[in-house]
Amino acid sequence: MNKFIAIVGSNSKKSTNRELLQYMKQHFQTSAEIELVEIKGLPLYKKTPDQFVPQRAKDIAKKIVDSDGVIIATPEYDHSIPAALSSALAWLSYGIHPFVDKPVMITGASYGSLGSSRAQSQLRQILDSPELKARIMPSSEFLLAHSLQAFDEKGNLADKKVSKQLDGLFKDFLQFVNISKQLNNASDINKQKAKDFSWDKD
């Protein structure tokens, strides 16, 4: 059975993105083991001369490396991902590179009607950057709109069509992960390139 790390892209105490990942953990438990990971507790990203990386970031990085894939649920603030998530991804590409060639599924929930669509688009760009270089599942978006009303009293998605869409996308992700395991011929080179990359160099 595949083991996935599910990153809650918010440090809010009450987050519908956390609720979404909790639903996925329960709903897909017979297909995959999903562990929720919080970005709370990470300090704001800051470069240092000794390239210091907080232990919390190292712990998250190890979980990612040891996993078969990553699911990220992001809210949308001002048409972008939260600053806390951006900072967390910066730490996870600073001297450590757990995302290189790692399969990633992007999801998102928002109170409005767009379901974090712009934030998800931005997140794709970030994950494709030279320092991260994740393997993002293509042509897939799960946009949970009006997320405050999306869950019933048991924490399940109330709309059957929305639930069915997520079921299909998750099955696609399982296939994507299995295919990705065969696409490892350049993995060592990709990891070295991420390690060597610097915006400070010409």
Nearest to 143 by CA among 162, 167, 122, 164: 162
DSSP assignment, residue 155?
A: S
How large is the average pLDDT for residues 111-120? Answer: 84
What H or E segment, with its residue span, contains residue 72?
A: strand 69-73
Residue 156's φ and ψ, nearest 5 degrees, are -95, 155
pLDDT(202) > 60: no
CB-based contact 64:99 (threshold 8 Å): yes
Question: 187 vs 87, which has greater pLDDT?
Answer: 87
pLDDT(180) > 60: yes
3-class DSSP state of 137: coil
| 124-155 residue pLDDT tens | 999 999 999 999 999 888 989 899 898 999 99
| 19-49 residue pLDDT tens | 999 999 999 999 999 999 999 989 999 998 8
Tell me which residue has tokens 């069509």: 161
Task: Give the per-residue pLDDT at 109.
Answer: 92
pLDDT(201) > 70: no
Task: Give the per-residue pLDDT at 133.
Answer: 95
CB-based contact 104:133 (threshold 8 Å): no
Average pLDDT, the chain: 93
Task: Give the per-residue pLDDT at 154.
Answer: 93
DSSP assignment, residue 94?
A: S
Q: What residue ranges define each of the domains in the chain, with the CATH number in brackets?
A: 2-196 (3.40.50.360)
| 62-106 residue pLDDT tens | 999 999 999 999 998 888 999 999 999 999 999 999 999 999 999
Determine how many CB atoms are found less than 10 A away from the CB of residue 2.
17
